[in-house]
Amino acid sequence: MSRTLRLGVLTLLVILGFALSLAAGKQWLPWGSDAATAIFVELRLPRALLGLLLGALLGLNGAVLQGFLRNPLADPAVVGVSSCAAFGAVAAILYAGASSLGVFAAAMVAALGAMALLVALTWRNADAVTFVLAGTILSSLAGALTAFLIAIAPNPYAVAGVIDWLMGALTDRGLADLARAAPFLIGGGVALARVGPALDALTLGEDAARSLGVRIGRVQALVVLGTGLGVGAGVAATGVIGFVGLIVPHVLRPLFGHRPSALLLPSALGGAALVLIADSLCRLAPGAGEIRLGVAMAMIGAPFFLGLLLRRRARAWI
Amino acid sequence: MDLIARHLSVTLGQRTVLTHVDVTLRPGRVTVILGPNGAGKSSLLKALAGLIVPATGSVLLAGQGVATLPDRERARRVGYLPQDAAVHWNVTAREVVALGRVPYRTPFAGPSPEDHARIEAALIATETVALAERGIADLSGGERARVLLARVLAGRPDWLLADEPLASLDPAHQIDILDRLRGVAQAGSGVVLVLHDLAQAARIADDVLLLQHGRVIAAGETAGVLTPEHVAAVFDVRVATLPGSAMMVPIGRIAR
């Protein structure tokens, strides 16, 4: 099967996922009445579009980070952006009243602040190990601060809201959420998509890549900017949805080859399809409410990690 | 186009690894940088490739500072083969060779017909056509060394700088790689190699640059530089020379 055909299949999956996301719910395929049209236009459509953009960004970001760090286990969590954005959002929910614009802005500021810190920590020493170490520090710090904020929270009801929010979901996201997040998701995606050829050169190591004219500092700046904008906006709009960036490039690598730039477009499509389909299935689960998408992804992701571990033991390349 | 180091000093952190290196390298010849471990060979090669900004002095290519050339321009003229032969993903041999064309590629565009032609020519020149579609991790050390050499050749650089290209190769593959590098020099490019094997150095070098403690001890044509006296002074070893050739073999250590 050629690359074009495989891309076609992935695109078809995205279209199916999008259609499913529009149609699926407690009210199956609303159409006809005024109320149904309102559900369709004001709830289902923005939710599906947000899922499409967010999934594509998360898949692309995972592929870029794995290529940049030359580490098959890298994902947005590794550079600390998700936890820092979550910390910003939690601070806003607990202490600044939980207007959705306020939460979004706080999460975005925290994500970009974290990325600025990451750049400062890795300045003039842009190798992969330093980068991961700095990201781990940021991630742990943000996690600890978030727990601290929750512990000293004045309002127990707000804490319940925070816990709910930390496990991200696309539930009830409307046009306003989409309009706020979309420019950042798209801008982040464009920054990330530009580094493809540089990631290919980095497979030979940093010295060889530099000898091929790759400016590592510029590549790092694009990766950090794209991750901060894209993943930051994703967390700001929906909460933390993990594992997409880790799983998708792995599933696609055997189908599209190991070359990092050849994985970027497939990973974006695969991420979109995964989030759209998973979000639709969350809605169809029995019971009065929905399963949180973040919970569902973690339930898929943890066994996937185990599978990776077992395969890694079995052969050199995963 | 000569590659010239002028009053070149390099520091890594607090440590000075090269001190006032003055040397002129000529195209069409194979120059071998020799010296004991820690003499500054790899640092000199990286500085010549424009990958290290010198503390003082400069490296000039056709009168221009290599480290200040635009990155793509420098990458087109100077090819660099690092000592580290690791490839981080199991990409195919052809994809590795195609990386040699990165300085000629534009974002979001596929390879041009010229890129394809150069990649094919590099595969043919290194006899790796049959390996082209195999994963780099599935190749033997000798095959991988040829593929990595093809990667540099695909860029058609004016200068080819290689750090220990014979490391971990058996004698047959060492001779094989050296012969191909000789071919590159004969085609008109400048070839600069860091080697640690005196016999192989004597075999391939037109010119030799002897380094010790970051300083040039001797430089020039092989016969004048690679003498038992120089080798004894720099490496602390006695050598036996093979009659009728420049080849030499270390046979004992000189106590200091």
Q: ipTM of the predicted structure? A: 0.91
Neighbours of A215 (CB within 10 A): 13
Low-confidence ranges of chain B (pLDDT < 50): none
Q: Do A213 and B76 touch (CB under 8 A)?
A: yes
The partner residues of B244 in beta bridges, in order of sequence, read none
pTM for the full predicted model: 0.90
The partner residues of B34 in beta bridges, in order of sequence, read B210
Quick check: B91 contacting A, CB < 8 Å?
A: yes
Q: Which residues of A touch B92 (CB under 8 A)?
A: 257
Tell me which residue in A207, A213, A215 faces B102 most closely, judged by beta carbons. Answer: A213
* A interface test, pick of B89, B97, B147 with most A CB neighbours within 10 Å: B89
Quick check: B112 contacting A, CB < 8 Å?
A: no
Determine the distance in angstroms separating the CA of A178 from the nearest CA of chain B, rounded to an integer: 28
Continuous segment of H or E residues that includes residue B229: helix B228-235
Distances (CA, A) of B104 to A67, A212, A263, B101, B150: 21, 9, 21, 5, 16
The partner residues of B64 in beta bridges, in order of sequence, read B61
Quick check: B42 contacting A, CB < 8 Å?
A: no
3-state secondary structure of B161: strand
Chain B, nearest residue to A317 by Cα = B90
Chain A, nearest residue to B110 by Cα = A197
Residue A59, φ and ψ in degrees, nearest 5: -65, -45
Give A104-118 pLDDT, tens digit per residue: 999 999 999 998 888
Give A224-266 pLDDT, tens digit per residue: 999 999 999 999 898 888 889 988 998 899 899 999 999 999 9
Spatial separation of the C-alpha atoms in residues A79 and A81, rounded to whole Å? 6
Chain A, nearest residue to B100 by Cα = A212
Q: In this structure, what token pair is assigned to residue A180? A: 């706020």
Q: Do B107 and A213 touch (CB under 8 A)?
A: no
Neighbours of B147 (CB within 10 A): 26
Q: Do A203 and B91 touch (CB under 8 A)?
A: yes
Q: Are A61 and A199 in contact (CB under 8 A)?
A: no
Give A68-122 pLDDT, tens digit per residue: 998 888 888 888 899 999 999 999 888 877 677 888 999 999 999 998 888 888 8
